[in-house]
């Protein structure tokens, strides 16, 4: 296959090298915009015009493949107040505009599909659902209500909803979909023995715990056909005692590769242990930039499925090194593109280019965590680009903190009135 030949050639790929997926779809370069939550849905949870503006800007910046922020498959289960939802109640015309804008300049746009499970702020949902009735830990139980366990009928219904959303994404013109199975959301909860303590066919052994994600993939494949790309974002590990381990993750990778998944994005961590944004990462790893490189090198030995490595990349040199090692086929970028939408073009035109991101803090780590500052600060940058403005690297952390509190209060009020 061509993608295998590209890795085995004598000339190492560059950031600008094209890549053919197993199904023949060609991506123009190796720059992959990883999912970030835009929080740009309207009151009916359709995409706003600003979402189309944002993704057109990223396409202009040179990215080969953009992944949307997490689009929810169930409008009764929102991870954030302004999430976008794709179901039979959605205005498909708004999604068509989004897809068209994101595919400018020869870029591709895939939709990330997600269900938050119990990772729903308490002001949005009194009783969320999860594989088991277990609260989040590490102090997060104060902001997230204890869930109830899903019934088997509800599990099967959620699988159908994932498939229906994928079918609608294809109809709207998106180039592919990605299942969000990382960062502690519902699919990740099923995979984790820490959060999934069921005694039926959906829990217990790893074979049973991975049944949900494999069923979601198979249901989507039946709806979209064999030529429509389906990817997955998977944790290398949860980095929590009793959670989804590296060894288990590799077994899931092999199962997904055997089932025919088109693209695997490697990340790691959860809200409880947010390694995906650099928390609790070793100093030696930070210097190398790629947080999960050791893991993906092991995965590369096991499967031929195209891989994306996301987390920590800042310089063209480190990205080129990761590609040259043949451990990964794509470089995943997120926060760097929230600060500079032209980052891909700059990287591809200057092999010495590097972007530094300043540490974000109000000076009080507890407040930073309550406000999820490492996430919402970047959401404010996305909102600026959605209005046609450039990002503001010196944006005040305290300003973001207070505006987040006000927004949460308004959203809570609307929820009570709904």
In a domain, 100, yes or no: yes
Residue 336 reports pLDDT greater than 70:
yes
| Structure confidence at residue 284 (pLDDT) | 45
Report which secondary-structure segment, H or E, holds 33: strand 31-33
In a domain, 253, yes or no: yes
Residue 9 binned pLDDT confidence (cut-offs 50, 70, 90): low
Q: Are 391 and 381 in contact (CB under 8 A)?
A: yes
- C-alpha angle 150/193/229, rounded to 5°? 75
Tens digit of each residue's pLDDT (9 = 90 or more) over 182-230: 989 999 999 999 999 999 999 999 999 999 999 999 999 999 999 999 9
Residue 5 reports pLDDT greater than 60:
no
In a domain, 67, yes or no: yes
| Structure confidence at residue 406 (pLDDT) | 79
Average pLDDT along the chain: 89
What span, in angstroms and rounded, lies between the C-alpha atoms of 92 and 103? 17
Residue 85 binned pLDDT confidence (cut-offs 50, 70, 90): very high
pTM for this prediction: 0.90
**Three-class SS state of 134:** coil
**CATH number (domain holding residue 234):** 3.20.20.70
| Structure confidence at residue 370 (pLDDT) | 75
How does DSSP assign 56-67, residue by residue?
A: HHHHHTT-SEEE
What span, in angstroms and rounded, lies between the C-alpha atoms of 59 and 351? 21
Tens digit of each residue's pLDDT (9 = 90 or more) over 230-280: 999 998 865 555 667 889 999 999 999 999 999 999 986 554 444 444 444
Alpha helices, H only, 225-358:
246-259, 283-288, 293-302, 316-324, 335-339, 343-349
Closest residue by Cα to residue 36 from 239, 311, 229:
311
In a domain, 19, yes or no: yes
In a domain, 108, yes or no: yes
- Token look-up 């507890």 returns 366
What span, in angstroms and rounded, lies between the C-alpha atoms of 71 and 35? 10
| Domain that residue 305 falls in | 2-359
| Structure confidence at residue 411 (pLDDT) | 54
What average pLDDT does this structure show over 389-393? 96
Closest residue by Cα to residue 392 from 402, 376, 375, 380:
380
In a domain, 364, yes or no: no
| Structure confidence at residue 292 (pLDDT) | 85
Residue 287 per-residue DSSP state: H
Please tell me the total count of domains within the chain: 1
Alpha helices, H only, 105-233:
152-172, 186-191, 206-209, 211-224
In a domain, 401, yes or no: no
Residue 138 binned pLDDT confidence (cut-offs 50, 70, 90): low
| Structure confidence at residue 12 (pLDDT) | 87
- C-alpha angle 371/376/382, rounded to 5°? 165
In a domain, 412, yes or no: no
């Amino acid at each position: 296959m061509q993608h295998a030949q590209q890795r085995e050639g004598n000339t190492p790929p560059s950031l600008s090298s094209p890549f053919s997926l197993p199904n023949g779809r060609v991506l123009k370069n190796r720059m992959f915009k990883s999912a970030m939550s835009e929080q740009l849905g309207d009151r009916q949870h359709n995409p706003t015009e600003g979402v189309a503006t944002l993704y057109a800007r990223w396409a202009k910046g040179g990215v080969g493949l953009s992944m949307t922020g997490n689009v929810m498959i169930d409008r009764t289960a929102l991870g954030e107040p302004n999430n976008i939802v794709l179901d039979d109640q959605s205005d498909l015309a708004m999604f068509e505009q989004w897809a068209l804008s994101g595919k400018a300049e020869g870029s591709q746009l895939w939709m990330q599909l997600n269900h938050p499970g119990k990772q729903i702020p308490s002001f949005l949902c009194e009783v969320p659902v999860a594989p088991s009735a277990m609260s989040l830990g590490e102090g997060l139980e104060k902001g997230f209500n204890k869930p109830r366990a899903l019934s088997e009928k509800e599990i099967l219904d959620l699988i159908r909803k994932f498939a229906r959303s994928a079918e609608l994404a294809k109809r709207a013109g998106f180039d592919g979909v990605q299942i969000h199975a990382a960062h502690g959301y519902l699919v990740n909860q099923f995979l984790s023995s820490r959060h999934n303590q069921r005694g039926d066919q959906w829990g217990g052994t790893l074979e049973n715990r991975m049944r949900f994600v494999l069923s979601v993939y198979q249901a989507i494949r039946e709806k979209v056909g064999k030529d429509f790309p389906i990817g997955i974002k998977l944790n290398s590990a949860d980095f929590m005692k009793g959670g989804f381990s590296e060894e288990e993750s590799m077994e899931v990778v092999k199962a997904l590769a055997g089932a025919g998944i088109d693209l695997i994005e490697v990340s790691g961590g959860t809200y409880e242990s947010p390694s995906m944004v650099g928390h609790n990462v070793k100093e030696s790893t930070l210097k190398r930039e790629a947080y999960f490189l050791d893991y993906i090198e092991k995965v590369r030995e096991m499967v031929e499925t195209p891989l994306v490595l996301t987390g920590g990349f800042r310089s063209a040199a480190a990205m080129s090194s990761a590609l040259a090692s043949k451990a990964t086929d794509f470089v995943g970028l997120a926060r760097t593109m929230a600060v500079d939408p032209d980052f891909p073009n700059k990287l591809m035109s200057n092999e010495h280019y590097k972007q530094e991101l300043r540490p974000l803090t109000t000076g009080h780590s507890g407040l930073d965590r309550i406000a999820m500052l490492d996430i919402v600060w970047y959401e404010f940058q996305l909102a600026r680009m959605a209005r046609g403005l450039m990002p503001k690297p010196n944006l005040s952390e305290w300003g973001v903190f207070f505006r987040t509190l006000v927004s949460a209060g308004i959203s809570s009020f609307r929820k009570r009135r709904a």
